[in-house]
Amino acid sequence: MNIEPKKVWVVGHKNPDTDSICAAISYAYLKNQLGERQYVPKRAGAISEETRYVLDYFKVEDPKLITDVGAQLKDISIRKTAGISSQISLKKAWETMKKLDVVTLPVTNRLGKLEGVIVTKDIATSYMDVYDNRVLSKARTQYKNIAETLDGNIIAGNEHAYFIRGKVVVGASDPAYLSEYIEADDMVILGPQKEAQIRALESNASCIIVGRGFEVDPEVVQMANKKDCIIITTSYDTFSIARLINQSMPIKEFMTREHLVTFDIDDYVDDIKETMSKIRHRDFPILDENGNYLGMVSRRNLMSMQKKQIILVDHNEKSQAVDNINEAEILEIIDHHRIGSLETISPVYFRNQPLGCTSTIIYQMFGEKNIEIPQHIAGLLLSAILSDTLMFRSPTCTQLDILAAEALAKIAKVDIETHAKNMFKAGSDFKNKTTEEIFYSDFKIFHTDEFDFGVAQISAMSREELDKVAEKLRPFLKEVLGEKRIDMVYVMLTDILEESSKVIFEGHDAGKILADAFEREENENGILLEGIISRKKQLIPTLMNAMAEKV
């Protein structure tokens, strides 16, 4: 299967916020306008209610979800061996194998469904281990197959009929004795003697094979047609006919039908390698999502793997990236956070600016490339900036963020304050959300030399709403510690209007570290931090410094 030029995925971090989703969509749009490749926005987690409001308002389709960027079978140049019918002869299957230089052939029906596989060992078995002279009839071998195997011609009877009863007999004795061992429906291999041919017809043979290219008397042909007896002529001698004839059997009698080891086109290469290491087959069939046969894969094909090509936006931490990011080829990183732990094999385009929002960077890039921003993209970029800067209240917000938002609001034809309040109101509607959905709506994991810790941030328009959320979240935090295998977990409950955050926590020394970091009294019910609303600029650096001092 020829691999088309791969699409490049543009994706944000796990548990995506509005910036992560909107930046992916907007940057993919920008790259597509430049006409270099085909870029597709993706998301690495569920869409929050705030982001849902934004996408619905500007009538933008959700990016498709991806959870893993490890190599899959679809990233490999698989061998597109055409499926064969279960009715073809063993000889034809063998010739096909030699022509294609393969040892395995897939057997499919007319609808493209896999029925089985046949390998060279199966053909060897039919040739070396079969001694039953009735095997051809048991296999319901078509006379057409027999003629093709013997490079012969059918000069009497119906070539589409099947040999379904009787045995194969070599008529080498005196014609006078033929009738003693020929039974009705037998297949008889004969020489040129007319008398022997007639005796075989009188014994109600179902098929006569005449070797060495001898012609058959018209009287015998006429008699055979009356008796519905097949006559096949071939240039092979009797010995060769007897040796070759079993190869005319249909492969369905020898192919493997049960316990087939197949792979789906979406299977991951790591899983495939593990299966291949346990099963010593040379080739394995590949199926699509509907179970249709697509092609074959072998260990050798895995060497042609093409890594998924990715552009990361709004993050550069491995812990925040989609699973198996190390197996992908990262082409670019566009971000506004601190430089994290992500490593790349080769140099990449890395744009990192100390701004309040990744989408502000992308807005700048539209201008640098002289690409016009359409209304819906302007709306997405504006929404991301308002979300990340909490409508310019966050200390991460810069004058560039404000200027970009004002320009984008004109293109999007929305009022900044009204749009922001509607966004935040949608994001503060926790009534129909589970505790898990609320917590993971914006959660990130961070690492120091000694500690692994997670921080979730939940914003609302009033402290009353946040206090209700806190009661739901407190019992859940212990589960997060175990599930994520981290030392501490914090939740920032940010009051947008009051510009403050109450932080609840779980984990050994989590409260003490937080209290020491911000010089507050330790309180097991949470610590209120006035003026602290930025996780990136205010909470994380301060916590990390406190953790370093503790060590």
Where in the chain are the domains?
Answer: 8-70+308-427, 75-127+253-304, 140-248, 435-550
Q: Return the residue matching tokens 């609320």.
A: 438
CATH fourth-level superfamily of 75-127+253-304: CBS-domain (3.10.580.10)
230-233/153-156 β-pairing: antiparallel
Block means of pLDDT (10 residues each) for the chain, 551 residues, are 69 95 98 93 94 97 94 84 92 92 92 92 75 84 92 92 91 72 90 90 93 92 94 93 88 88 90 83 89 89 80 92 90 92 85 96 98 98 96 94 98 97 90 90 90 94 90 94 95 92 95 95 94 92 90 62
Following DSSP, what letter does each residue of 330-388 receive, concatenated? Answer: EEEEEE-S---S---SS--EEEE--SS-HHHHHHHHHHHTTPPPPHHHHHHHHHHHHHH
Note the pLDDT of residue 126: 75
Q: Which CATH number fits domain 140-248: 3.40.50.2000, 3.40.1390.20, 3.30.420.10, 3.30.70.100?
A: 3.40.1390.20
**Order of strands across the sheet that contains 263-264:** 263-264, 284-287, 293-297
- CATH homologous superfamily for 8-70+308-427? inorganic pyrophosphatase (n-terminal core) (3.90.1640.10)
* CA angle, residues 464, 513, 547, in degrees to nearest 5: 130
What are the pLDDT digits (tens) for 147-179? 999 999 999 999 889 999 999 998 866 676 777
Fold observed for domain 435-550? Diaminopimelate Epimerase; Chain A, domain 1 (3.10.310)
Q: Flag whether the pTM goes above 0.85.
A: no
Phi, psi of 362 (to 5 degrees): -65, -35
State how far the Cα of 304 lies from the Cα of 77, in Å rounded to an integer: 6
The pLDDT value given to residue 290 = 87
